[in-house]
Amino acid sequence: MDNRPIGIFDSGFGGLTAVRALRAICPEENIVFFADNGRAPYGGRPLRQLRHMARQNLDVAAACGAKVIFAACGTLSSNASDILRAYPVPAFGVLDAAVAEIASEQSAAPIGVIATEATVRSGAFERALRAACPGREIISVACPDFVPLIESGCVGWDDPALRRAVEDYLRPLKAQGIGTLLLGCTHYGLIDAALRRYLGEQVRLVDASACAAAFIKHYLEENGLCGGEGSLRCLTSGELDRFERLAPLFLGQEEPPQTEAVPVMPAEEDK
């Protein structure tokens, strides 16, 4: 039995999709989730900043006594995977988990990847998919409007701004006849119904957050780290009220989770 919490972080509400998926399959685990809402979105930030922020977020999770840390964030996973790997507490990101899932598919159809600008710019998902799925065409599209829309609560197909963005970003992928769409940003699981509505049933959606949960469960079991009382503690660097209002929606529960406000950390290193 290891009752220490699992540390999970993201720029905001997207990471809650990973928390929700993990609680569904590991209900006994204690989880500390850090939502860096005060600095969201991450997806348009320069590489240097993202790497600095990855170190800071790892330190937040480690200070909470995490037994394992998970970057529920495609942007930090793809721009700071070496930093995660070298961290003294075992740390992983959504990239590895999602690519492993797609590698097991029996399909030759093109793979679409949607993610933030910084994730697509890093090329990390494309490189990993090319190595894992030789011969399959990979088409990546950056979707910079999705995270701000989701963070402001626009998540349904009936929301005109979201619908327009879905159509604009996914049109080229639909035209190419993709068989799989990798949601390379953990926020996108919150709009999966709208993505599905536009693409139709024949395209398989692979949500990086859902893959992350299975990956963490496997890691805990393999390393004898399972255990806890099923608690969830959240930290937000954004507005407490807003977090408490929106988090239940994304967690699929009625009550807000126990949440503390924490200060916004500087995005640049001190000189």
Q: Which residues bind ligand DGL (CB under 6 A)?
A: 10-11, 14, 40-43, 73-75, 116, 119, 147, 185-187
Which of 73, 154, 211, 234 is the catalytic position? 73
In angstroms, the CA 254 to CA 256 distance is 7
Question: For residues 71 and 225, which CB has a smaller minimum distance to ligand DGL in the complex?
Answer: 71
Question: For residues 68 and 143, which CB has a smaller minimum distance to ligand DGL in the complex?
Answer: 143
In angstroms, the CA 46 to CA 259 distance is 29
Question: For residues 188 and 228, which CB has a smaller minimum distance to ligand DGL in the complex?
Answer: 188
CA 202, chain centre distance (Å): 24
In the DSSP assignment, the letter for residue 157 is T
Q: How far is the CB of 134 from ligand DGL (least distance, A)?
A: 26
Residue least distant from ligand DGL (Cβ)? 43
- Strand ordering across the sheet containing 91-93: 91-93, 68-71, 6-10, 31-35, 232-236, 258-261
Q: How far is the CB of 36 from ligand DGL (least distance, A)?
A: 8
Which of 26, 143, 154, 185 is the catalytic position? 185
In angstroms, the CA 236 to CA 261 distance is 5
CA 253, chain centre distance (Å): 19
Q: How far is the CB of 104 from ligand DGL (least distance, A)?
A: 22
Q: How far is the CB of 183 from ligand DGL (least distance, A)?
A: 9
**H helix or E strand, kind and range, residue 50:** helix 47-63
Task: Look up residue 191 and give its two tokens.
Answer: 């709009």
64 tagged catalytic: no
Question: For residues 9 and 87, which CB has a smaller minimum distance to ligand DGL in the complex?
Answer: 9
185 tagged catalytic: yes
Catalytic residues, by residue number, are 73, 185
